[in-house]
Chains A and B, each alone.
Chain A
Amino acid sequence: MNIDTKSKLNFNTTWSYAPALESQDHIQINKKYGHFIGGKFVAPAKGKYFKTINPATGKAIANIADGDQSDVNKAVRAARQAYQKYWSKTTGAERGKYIYRIARMIQERAREFAVIESLDGGKPIRESKTIDIPLAAAHFFYYAGWADKLEYAFPNRTPEPLGVAGQIIPWNFPLLMAAWKIAPALAAGNTVVLKPAETTPLTALKLAELIQDADLPPGVVNIVTGDGKAGEALVNNSDIDKIAFTGSTEVGKLIQQSVAGTNKKVTLELGGKAANIIFEDAPIDQAVEGIINGIYLNQGHVCCAGSRLFIQESVANIVIQKLKDWMETLIVGDPLDKNTDVGAINSKNQLKIINNYIEIGKNEGAHYYESSCALPDNGGYWCRPSLFTNTSQSSRIVQEEIFGPVLTVQTFRTVEEVIKKANNTPYGLSAGVWTDKGSKIFKMTTGLNAGVIWANTYNKFDPTSPFGGYKESGFGREGGLHGLADYLKFV
């Protein structure tokens, strides 16, 4: 279908939406937080704190303990004690009941957690409320049920916990990533030391308070806040049995180096540059919605984002036109406004990285298009959704992970061609396929080198569904039965 430029739709309407701010009256954020070690909040050893910033305003929200090696060591000792004295002696059924408590309490306090998540990280309240918090609760609920059923999960093997797990999580889905790490670890019988991301510690600390309320034995879950040096100390601690890391491929490789020669088990969930592939027989409007979900929601801060769009040539024009029209309806704004689609970029630093890539793209000769939406003018970190056409496989913006609301667009002609192009990357986390033909879906999933493939949908997560990458997107799986294996040893 050829698009007549006269047929442009006008989304700059007389009727617009008034601000619809989520209330903050009921939430509680302390001025200062210590680490959560041995069931209590304790001050950092060196007494140093840093501020966590609200990226929608650039203003500080709270003071957070700056963890160093001695804090980490203390936490690992508490975790080891708790493992030896309580947790390894607790039956699976009892472990399960503790984890169920956590799940149900998250549900009870969902609203408070959602508001704090949006304040601390910049993601729209609609996403926190409808995706992050419910999925986090669901993850705890799912793994609670495995705790007394491990004997059924691995034929002919007797599973045992590893001991103490060190877990480092990123800033894009803070509470959800904490759930993805803590839930299976506890269900399998381990104790944990979690290091949340530097820019988003709050919901992890609120989770610590909740864990106190759930009466979990002290030291089973410990939380040390801080930056890269706390993470490094955790990785290098000699009494850790397992490291689980989600973050950039760059840091993942450093971690793998650090643990070489030790007996530590490692799982890594790293970056991605997923291909989102639209065939001519796709349900086109739903596919365009899928493209939007894949790259613009959560501000593109998603490791499995569909950041490389491949459109079959015969429908390229119509898809691009629809995409551009659709982008005009996206609202970039205050994360606490219920109508916001795209919130604040998580940090000043990340905004710099994204803008840098946009420059690179322009310099490489790609054609840049951004939506025309207004941006708030208040000191926050904002970026309009954008896309690049006239790109090529070798462009840096096509090869490298941008981690922002920036989409690159390429075309293809055949199934074989697009499989090759999609696989032509060191990453292999995820991919999307849009077609009405079932046999083509299965052909594509057979051929694509990615750990998660979405057919006629995108960015769908469920605690029962294993998630993880091929190649440099990491190894190990989180979620589902497969997600248990990495927290167990088999005797």
Chain B
Amino acid sequence: MAKRKIKSVAPSSPGKGNRKQSANAGSNGQSNKSLRVQKTYKLYIGGKFPRTESGRVFKLRNKNGELLANICQGSRKDFRAAVVAARNAQSGWAARSAYNRGQIIYRIAEIMEARKAQFVEELVLMGYSMRNAEAEVSTSIDRIVHYAGWADKYQQIFSSVNPVASSHFNFSVLEPTGVVSIYAPTNNGLIGLISTIMPVITGGNTCIVLASQSFPISAIGFAEVLHTSDVPGGVINILTGKGAELLTHFSTHKDVNAMIYCGDSKSDVTAIQRNSTENLKRIVLYRENDWMLPASQGPYRISDVQEVKTTWHPVA
């Protein structure tokens, strides 16, 4: 079997003379080609693609002001439904063997690799240079592979057998904290999304992610990848919408165990930290600007959303 080759498709440029452009691969808008079917972008909740229950959308435009897509403006009710889905999926996801989770995560990478061209084009459509888009998609895929390999290993480096002074066998293990809400980085379309989601699910948690408001399209493409790989519905739920509107619910909902915030607003951080006291939500802040660097991946991102459980048993 030869090296897997990726079929590259010529990137689309915003059609000359077309007022409305859907953010799809392919045509250059010439009138003698068949008319492109424009894509409807939905949310991804519980393994399904519903529209937002609020019926609202916001317009995503390219730098020339041309319309790229109508993006669902997710509501607090969508978030509520997503939390239910995430909670329902969590115990089953955590109960799978680490090996199984690792295989499933690796398969996400397999599927994404095959659809590399689509992701590159979508980033370009949203304003990336071709070079940056390709680099970001490659790094994203490699990062997924990286976390696939952590699934059955982080336990080995973070757990311990503790030599207590009494005649007991004493061991500490990590367990997933449960349901995690994620406010993804806003300054990029894909790498921030991948970098926040992957360590969370590698460790057996489930999550609800708010995609970048400025670069939301890749998130829905990613949802499609998840849907066609073996990730059970509800493990990753993806919402698009306005951060200002949803931040309160992401940080107050009492059935969410932890929140990851990647924005840069001090007032937001203060608000989140205050809100987290509702249920003693664990707050994780990631402040980097450049998510492409190796420093943005690693096992500590997994342990950031894990609890430590210690068990004693007599030796007699």
Contact = CB atoms under 8 A, between A and B. Distances in A.
Interface in A79-124: 93, 96-97, 100, 104-105
Contacts of A480: 156
A443 B315 contact: yes
Given A141-B99, A145-B102, A464-B156, A100 B145 contact: yes
Interface string A429-450: 0000000001110110010000
Instruction: Bin chain A's interface residue count.
Output: 20 to 34
A487 to B, nearest CB: 16
A141 B2 CA distance: 20
Contact of B103 (A141, A215, A442): A141
Contact of A96 (B98, B145, B152): B145
Residues of A contacting B: mostly: helix
Interface in A197-220: 213, 215
B169 interface: yes
B150 interface: yes
A239 to B, nearest CB: 30
A93 B149 CA distance: 10
A427 interface: no
A145 B150 contact: yes
Interface in B134-148: 142, 145-146, 148
Contact of B157 (A100, A142, A152): A152
B316 A149 contact: no
A14 B153 CA distance: 51
Nearest to A464: B152
B143 to A, nearest CB: 10
A104 B148 CA distance: 13
A148 B315 contact: no
Given A93-B142, A152-B299, A145 B153 contact: yes
A445 to B, nearest CB: 9
Contacts of A97: 145
Contact of A481 (B99, B106, B157, B314): B157
Interface string B178-191: 00000000000000
Nearest to B313: A438
A401 B52 CA distance: 69
Nearest to A444: B315
Contact of B152 (A145, A148, A442, A446): A145
Nearest to B169: A442
Contact of B316 (A93, A100, A138, A439): A439
B35 interface: no
Interface string B139-179: 00010011011111100110000000000010000000000
A461 to B, nearest CB: 13
Contact of A138 (B1, B3, B99, B149): B99
Contacts of B145: 93, 96-97, 100
Nearest to A155: B157
Contacts of A153: 157
A463 B316 CA distance: 30
B99 A93 contact: no
A365 B150 CA distance: 55
A418 interface: no
Given A149-B153, A215-B3, A443 B102 contact: no
Interface in A439-486: 439-440, 442-443, 446, 463-464, 480-481
A440 B152 CA distance: 29
A146 interface: yes
A224 B1 CA distance: 23
Contacts of A136: none
A438 B312 CA distance: 11
Contacts of A438: 313-314
Contacts of B169: 442
Contact of B99 (A142, A146, A147, A215): A142
B70 to A, nearest CB: 38
Nearest to A466: B156
A144 interface: yes
A138 B3 CA distance: 22
Contact of B314 (A141, A146, A213, A442): A442
A152 B315 CA distance: 31
Contacts of B313: 438-439, 442
A443 B316 contact: yes
B152 A144 contact: no
Contacts of B316: 439-440, 442-443
Contacts of A96: 145, 149
Given A104-B106, A442-B315, 4 more contacts: A96-B145, A96-B149, A152-B157, A480-B156
6 contacts: A105-B1, A149-B150, A438-B314, A439-B315, A463-B99, A480-B156
Sort A-B residue pairs by CB-CB distance and give the 6 closest, nearest first. Answer: A145-B149, A439-B316, A442-B315, A439-B314, A213-B1, A442-B169
